[in-house]
Chain A
Amino acid sequence: MAERPEDLNLPNAVITRIIKEALPDGVNVSKEARRAISQAASVFVLYATSCANNFAMKAKRKTLNAGDVMSAMEEMEFERFLQPLREALEAYKKGQKGKKEASEQKRKDKEKKSSSTDENDKSRDEEEDEHMDDEQ
């Protein structure tokens, strides 16, 4: 666990990759510059979180949500981020929905299988644990 928030760094490889992809070919980045950007990114997270949390608290919510983050971006004068963030959020939500449906489907399939060997799923716990191995 980190002692200070500033100690929680983001992975260097990822930061480096993001930087490289943003810059034209042939441009190099010194180690010090990379380190500074990584640090700046951590500070950005902390600042954005704090800002977003203010919006949540104003709305008397305990859970920080995506809308709070969007409001924070505006407040921080990063309006240019809003459009790409909205698009990313839509894609993310679709992905989450697909995953949820996929895992629910998996669960249903499992239940179908087990009900063909065991009459009643729920009573399995009360009977014996041996049946659990058969599932796999």
Chain B
Amino acid sequence: MAATAPVAPAESELDRSGAEDEPRSAEPEEDAGNGQTGPTAGAQQQQHRLAKLPLSRIKALMKADPDVSLASQESVFIIAKATELFVEMIAKDALVYAQQGKRKTLQRKDLDNAIEAIDEFAFLEGTLD
């Protein structure tokens, strides 16, 4: 599957601030990908330079769908990446509401406002506790 789209230099709509390229210190918490030894674990550790979310957890979520039989490694990676972009996006969009309320702390209601106002977040309505 060749990527026919030319790689755009520098600018992208989302300000990712180059974070994904920075080397990360070892993940805390229960992430199963890091901290193992052996050749296969090395592969997972390297993936974390490109994706912050653990692919194992993403894959587990994907497999929760009964209609999904198999998912390529690339697809798991892309969904992980997309999820990171999604988190960035929703945080920034919610911030607008906090700022309108002259607050420096993002609160749950800012999330709710963003979800209500923004079309792309419509799928979230009624899904959060």
Contact = CB atoms under 8 A, between A and B. Distances in A.
A106 B72 contact: no
Contacts of B7: 86-87, 90
Interface in B70-129: 70-75, 77-79, 81-92, 94-95, 98, 104-108, 110-111, 115, 119-121, 123-124, 127-129
A95 B47 contact: yes
B78 to A, nearest CB: 4
Interface residues of A, number: 73
Interface in B37-93: 39, 42-43, 46-47, 49-54, 57-58, 60-62, 64-65, 67-75, 77-79, 81-92
A10 B89 CA distance: 17
Interface stretch (A25-33, A116-124, A128-136): A25-33
Nearest to B74: A66
- The secondary-structure label for the interface of chain A is helix
B6 to A, nearest CB: 10
Taking residues whose C-beta sits less than 8 angstroms from the other chain, chain B's interface range is: 35 or more
B27 A14 contact: yes
Contact of B57 (A11, A30, A88): A11
Contact of A68 (B20, B52, B75): B75
A78 to B, nearest CB: 6
A39 interface: yes
Contacts of B5: 82-83, 86
Nearest to A98: B46
A81 B85 contact: yes
A81 B98 CA distance: 24
Interface of A: 2, 4-5, 8, 10-15, 17-19, 21-23, 26-30, 32-33, 35-37, 39-50, 52-53, 57, 62-70, 73, 76-78, 80-93, 95-96, 99, 103, 106
Interface of B: 1, 3, 5, 7-8, 12-17, 19-20, 27-31, 39, 42-43, 46-47, 49-54, 57-58, 60-62, 64-65, 67-75, 77-79, 81-92, 94-95, 98, 104-108, 110-111, 115, 119-121, 123-124, 127-129
16 contacts: A8-B60, A14-B52, A15-B87, A18-B52, A19-B91, A27-B105, A66-B75, A80-B89, A84-B12, A85-B78, A86-B7, A88-B81, A89-B77, A92-B50, A95-B46, A103-B39
